[in-house]
C-alpha cells in the first residue's frame, strides 16, 4: 500500500514538473483567447493616418505609381486592390495602405505578431497541426494523470477521504451548476 502511494507521488511530482511550463503556456493563452471579442490576442494592430495629394490618374498601375511615389515606397507591393472606384489598397508584408483617391487621405495599417503570446496561442490552438497534435495529446493525457494522482498524494484528514473530497466536489459542482443554469434557466 505504501509502495503504491510512493510511486503515485513520484510520478505526480515528476510529470508535474515536466508539464509546468506547457501548463503556463496553455493557461496564459487560454485567458488571452477567451477575450477575442475585446482584442486580437495574436496581433497588434496600429493605424496611422496619411494625407497625400489627390490621385487623379486614370489607370490602376498609374494610381499605384503615384501613391508609391508620394509615400516614398521603393519596393513593389505584394498585391494591389481596388475595393471601389475611389479607393486603392497597396499590400506589403505586415502593412496595408488604403488611400481615398479623390481626397488623397488614407490609413496605414500595421500588423505585428504579439511577442511570445503569438507563439503561445499557436501552440494552444494547435495551428501547426502535424507532430504538435501528438505532443498536445500526450500533454493532455499527462494533465489527466497529474489531476488523478493529485487526489491520492495525501492521506488522512487532508486527503481524498477528508478535506480533499470537499474541494473535489466543489470543483465538480462549478461546471455542473453553470451548465444547468446556462442550458435550462
Binding region for other proteins (CB under 8 A): 17-22, 25, 36-37, 40, 42-43, 45, 60, 77-79, 81-85, 89, 91-94, 96, 111, 113, 119, 122-123, 125, 127-132, 135
| CA–CA separation, 121 and 127 (whole Å) | 8
Q: Which lies closer to other proteins via its Cβ, residue 11 or residue 111?
A: 111
How many other CB atoms are there within 10 angstroms of residue 96's CB atom? 17
For residue 177, the minimal CB distance to other proteins (Å) is: 26
For residue 9, the minimal CB distance to other proteins (Å) is: 18
Q: Which lies closer to other proteins via its Cβ, residue 52 or residue 136?
A: 136
Checking 147-152 for CB contacts under 8 A at 24+ apart, the result is 149/8, 149/9, 149/11, 149/12, 149/15, 150/12, 152/5, 152/8
Q: Which lies closer to other proteins via its Cβ, residue 47 or residue 163?
A: 47
β-sheet bridge partners, residue 95: 92, 110
Q: Which lies closer to other proteins via its Cβ, residue 118 or residue 164?
A: 118
For residue 119, the minimal CB distance to other proteins (Å) is: 6
As given in the structure block, the three cell numbers for residue 126 are 494547435
Q: Which lies closer to other proteins via its Cβ, residue 23 or residue 168?
A: 23
Q: Cite the DSSP H helix spans in the chain.
A: 2-18, 20-33, 60-71, 117-124, 130-150, 163-184
For residue 16, the minimal CB distance to other proteins (Å) is: 10
Amino acid at each position: 500500500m505504501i509502495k503504491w502511494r510512493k510511486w503515485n507521488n513520484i510520478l505526480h511530482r515528476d510529470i508535474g514538473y515536466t508539464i509546468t511550463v506547457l501548463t503556463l503556456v496553455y493557461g496564459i493563452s487560454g485567458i488571452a483567447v477567451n477575450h477575442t471579442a475585446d482584442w486580437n490576442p495574436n496581433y497588434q494592430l496600429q493605424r496611422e493616418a496619411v494625407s497625400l495629394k489627390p490621385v487623379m490618374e486614370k489607370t490602376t498601375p498609374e494610381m499605384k505609381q503615384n501613391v508609391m511615389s508620394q509615400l516614398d515606397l521603393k519596393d513593389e507591393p505584394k498585391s494591389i486592390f481596388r475595393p471601389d472606384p475611389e479607393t486603392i489598397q497597396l499590400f506589403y508584408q505586415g502593412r496595408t495602405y488604403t488611400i481615398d483617391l479623390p481626397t488623397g487621405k488614407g490609413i496605414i495599417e500595421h500588423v505585428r505578431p504579439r511577442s511570445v503570446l503569438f507563439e503561445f496561442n499557436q501552440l494552444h490552438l494547435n495551428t501547426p497541426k502535424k507532430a504538435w497534435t501528438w505532443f498536445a495529446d500526450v500533454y493532455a493525457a499527462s494533465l489527466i494523470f497529474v489531476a488523478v494522482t493529485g487526489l491520492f498524494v495525501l492521506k488522512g484528514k487532508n486527503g481524498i477521504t477528508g478535506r480533499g473530497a470537499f474541494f473535489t466536489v466543489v470543483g465538480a459542482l462549478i461546471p455542473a451548476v453553470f451548465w444547468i443554469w446556462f442550458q435550462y434557466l
